[in-house]
Amino acid sequence: MNHEQHMREAIQLSQDGLRSGRGGPFGCVVVRGGQVVGRGSNQVTSTFDPTAHAEVVAIRDACKALGTFQLDDCVLYASCEPCPMCLSAIYWARIPEVYFGNTRQDAASIGFDDDLIYREIPLPVDKRRVAMKSLLHAEALPVFKEWAEKTDKTRY
């Protein structure tokens, strides 16, 4: 597999997205068996979607192209170290290998600072900056119990 070639495509997508005004300077490709199966560039500002990061866009593209929600035989190439949201999406998609160009420190130096989120995640819920309170737990729990007992579910 030509890692440099795939990383160059991710970098090119980051530049194309930046220059077109679609979003920030981030690009990503998902590769399976040496072939690109998903592409994405940051589209946060053009789609008014704060989750439209390059990695999420590329993962969605790859999953649609392959007809699956698990990319456990794929490799992801991102122009920058994934933020916490994108890293979570990578784990949820079961992608086993990631290559990245710029570091999160590089991103922070141009105004994309994910460090706050990285610091918030390990805090207890009641210590986070975003107010989080449990509500209607007794009404929500039966749905989880029903899922646990469901025999024909698709596990993910």
Which are the catalytic amino acids? Answer: 55
What gap in Å lies between CA 129 and CA 43, rounded to an integer?
A: 26
Tokens of 142: 């039966």
- CB within 8 Å of 3: residues ≥ 6 apart: 77, 99
What gap in Å lies between CA 93 and CA 128, rounded to an integer?
A: 27
Sign (positive or negative) of CA dihedral 48, 54, 60, 66: positive
Between the two ends of the chain, the Cα-to-Cα distance in Å is 28
CB 99 within 8 A of CB 6: yes
